[in-house]
Amino acid sequence: MQFTAYQIVTPLISFIAVTYAWNLVLRQRKTIWEAILWSMFWGTIAYIALFPDALDYLTAATGIKDRENAVVVTFLGIISFILFYLIIRIEEMEQRQTRVIRKLALKDLDKK
């Protein structure tokens, strides 16, 4: 098997991205959950770069003939899921912020 430049560079970039994600976890700037998702994403990118024939399973599972289209549709689904998750998290943070501001306002009112 002969490797192309893409098949060499992509796994290296993936390794750097995964290492950086776990470094952020160790510095407590990201959660373990985020690092796991980041690792899965970049691991998948590296795997696809090294073994492009692995996408044949994806084409069979989705029923889409072309590999490229199957990848695009699958990643659009994954991105949609992540977007939905982020929207839920933002709404939770807004609710927490509202509760904190209300408590602070009530404390301020009691002092006066």
Instruction: Tell me, yes or no, whether 96 and 45 share the same domain.
Output: no
Instruction: Tell me, yes or no, whether 9 and 36 share the same domain.
Output: yes
The total of other beta-carbon atoms located within 10 Å of residue 78's CB is 14
Instruction: Tell me, yes or no, whether 62 and 106 share the same domain.
Output: yes
Instruction: Tell me, yes or no, whether 18 and 59 share the same domain.
Output: no
What integer pLDDT is reported at residue 57 of this predicted model? 84
Instruction: Tell me, yes or no, whether 6 and 59 share the same domain.
Output: no
**pLDDT tens, N- to C-terminus, the chain (112 residues):** 788 998 999 999 999 999 999 999 999 988 899 899 899 989 998 998 899 888 888 888 888 888 888 888 888 888 988 898 899 889 999 999 999 999 999 988 887 7
Which residue range(s) make up the domain with 39? 1-50
The DSSP H or E segment spanning 88 is helix 67-111
Tokens standing for residue 79: 């991105």
What integer pLDDT is reported at residue 25 of this predicted model? 94
Instruction: Tell me, yes or no, whether 88 and 106 share the same domain.
Output: yes
Instruction: Tell me, yes or no, whether 77 and 104 share the same domain.
Output: yes
What integer pLDDT is reported at residue 8 of this predicted model? 93
Q: How many domains does the chain have?
A: 2
Interior CA angle at 87 toward 85 and 90, to 5°?
110
